[in-house]
A and B are shown apart, each in its own frame.
Chain A
Amino acid sequence: MKLDPATIERLKAKIAVYREFLKNWLEPSNLAQLRPKLEFQTGVLAGFALIASVLLGVTNCSTEGTIQRRLDEDLKKSLEEVVPAALYDNDMLQDTLTIPSAEYNIGANETTVYIAKKSGQVSAVCFKFIAPDGYSGAINMIMGIDRNANILGVRVLSHKETPGLGDKIEVAKSDWILNFVGRSLDNLAPAKWAVKKDGGEFDQFAGATITPRKSVQAIYRGLQLFKAHQEQLINP
């Protein structure tokens, strides 16, 4: 569409009028007169609320995809921590199965299991679980289990345990969590799934018993969850 010079001139004049009006309206002296008026106050509050919501809405929508990709990358990194690279050649993020887990007290009613496959055959599974009863809140963990129900690895993703005492469950702070590699419900009796203080197999920490105790119990419950669904998971 082409505008003839006369129309452009008219539009320019119109814009100039609006600009003049806005400029006068925004004069501090004019605003000072308006500020005590109730309808002005309502309008300003609504205006600010509108601007804030639009800004946040637009930002949220335009970054949603990017954030999801970042979270996927994080998840992938954690999966790679607990399932050795030699065991799979598929994209575990895409190969998932959701199983009910409400009765296992691992923090969620449904657990998403990531399936590791090598040449089409299930080699291992991996899922996140939670010890809801840590010393100072939930302990988020992830565990990899091979098709014969042996633990491939466990890692703590996040926790709020006492720094210097309970945080030895992190692999960065101590190698305690590596003691679980190779364990399974078959090669360790149920009574041994406890800290040494309770007659079990695993060390507690000096000054912190609850954190490792609850972690061991949660890992045990995680294994039970796997056991209950083993057939369904490894022979889909």
Chain B
Amino acid sequence: MFLSETYRKIAADGIWNNNIVFGQNLALCPLLAVTGTATNGLGMGLATLVVIIASNGLISVARHLIPGEIRIPIFVLLIAALVTLVDILMNAWAHELYKVLGLFIALIVTNCALLGRAEAFASKQPVRHALWDGLMMGLGFLLVLVALGAAREISASGTLFANASVLLGESFRFLEVTVIPNYKGFLLMALPPGGFIMLAFLIVGKRLIDQKLATRKVSVTVLTPVIAEEEA
């Protein structure tokens, strides 16, 4: 592997072990609000990814300047300023995208995961670790958003990545798939309760996989001495 131990651990934490949603149970507000479709999830994920990398980087650069007593107001100030900046710039220079994503951008402020990463990681780590952590945490969040959005969209309307071409441009029209043709629709999944229900399924799924991985590890450690004894 080309990555050192530290970087690999940060990556594994961000994407799986300590995932913002599955591991830390943070960011549920934006998560449940926007994941009606996979496309919306993707949009929110990308916007959050940009902001979390920037906020992690900035806070890490300034970490020696920030006294512990007033760190929270400074983090909030920086994150809010960053989000507003992204909001304004997108409105001006990526207006079509903004019309789709605009609603979500402001929601990033309510994403406690950003503050969480600033507090727990970026304020104590060198810049390159903080940037990498932002990237990995953002990616982990993006994956959950897309997975939850896709699961809800398929069960609610039988399509996948509907309107992806509006978000990403015409060349991404191939993403738009009708998974179940002539589907009558299952409205509950498109409504907020559907978000909670589907999230519960995803979390159960993650726990099951973790359990399986854990038992495999245990059985390996249990088996080795047995074999060793036989050999002896």
A residues bordering B, Cβ < 8 Å?
Answer: 26, 28, 31-32, 35-36, 40-41, 44-45, 48-49, 52, 55-56, 59-60, 63, 66-67, 70, 73-74, 162-165
Interface presence of B74 (CB below 8 A): yes
Interface presence of B77 (CB below 8 A): yes
Give the 7 A-B residue pairs with the shortest CB-CB distance, closest first: A63-B92, A52-B81, A35-B67, A66-B92, A70-B95, A31-B64, A28-B64
Residue among A44, A63, A165 making CB contact with B89, cutoff 8 Å: A63
Residues of chain A within 8 A of B157, CB atoms compared:
164
With an 8 Å Cβ cutoff, the count of chain B residues facing the other chain is 30
Residues of chain A within 8 A of B85, CB atoms compared:
55-56, 59
- Assess the A63–B187 pair: CB atoms within 8 A: no
- Assess the A31–B65 pair: CB atoms within 8 A: yes
Within 8 A of A (CB), among B51-82: 62, 64-70, 73-74, 77-78, 80-81
Bound-state CA distance A55–B65 (Å) is 19
Residues of chain B within 8 A of A45, CB atoms compared:
70, 73-74
Give B190's nearest chain A residue, CB to CB.
Answer: A163
- Assess the A164–B78 pair: CB atoms within 8 A: no
Give A44's nearest chain B residue, CB to CB.
Answer: B65
State how many angstroms separate the Cβ of B109 from the closest Cβ of chain A: 13
B residues bordering A, Cβ < 8 Å?
Answer: 36, 62, 64-70, 73-74, 77-78, 80-81, 84-85, 88-89, 91-93, 95, 99, 156-157, 185, 187, 190-191
Give B66's nearest chain A residue, CB to CB.
Answer: A44
Give B37's nearest chain A residue, CB to CB.
Answer: A163
Bound-state CA distance A31–B67 (Å) is 9
Say whether, besides A35-B68, A56-B85, A49 and B77 are in contact (CB < 8 Å). Answer: yes
Give A207's nearest chain B residue, CB to CB.
Answer: B187
- Assess the A41–B88 pair: CB atoms within 8 A: no
Residues of chain A within 8 A of B93, CB atoms compared:
63, 66
Residue among B68, B81, B99 making CB contact with A56, cutoff 8 Å: B81
Say whether, besides A41-B67, A59-B85, A67 and B187 are in contact (CB < 8 Å). Answer: no
Residues of chain B within 8 A of A56, CB atoms compared:
81, 84-85, 88
Give A35's nearest chain B residue, CB to CB.
Answer: B67
Can you give 16 contacting A-B residue pairs, CB < 8 Å?
A: A28-B64, A44-B65, A52-B77, A52-B78, A56-B81, A56-B85, A56-B88, A59-B89, A60-B88, A66-B93, A67-B88, A74-B99, A162-B191, A163-B187, A164-B185, A165-B187
- Assess the B91–A70 pair: CB atoms within 8 A: yes
Residues of chain A within 8 A of B36, CB atoms compared:
163
- Assess the B190–A55 pair: CB atoms within 8 A: no
Bound-state CA distance A74–B95 (Å) is 10
Bound-state CA distance A55–B54 (Å) is 15
Say whether, besides A63-B88, A163-B36, A55 and B81 are in contact (CB < 8 Å). Answer: yes
Residues of chain A within 8 A of B191, CB atoms compared:
162-163
Give A52's nearest chain B residue, CB to CB.
Answer: B81
Bound-state CA distance A28–B64 (Å) is 6
Bound-state CA distance A48–B187 (Å) is 46
Residues of chain B within 8 A of A70, CB atoms compared:
91-92, 95
Give B68's nearest chain A residue, CB to CB.
Answer: A35
Residues of chain A within 8 A of B62, CB atoms compared:
48
State how many angstroms separate the Cβ of B51 from the closest Cβ of chain A: 14
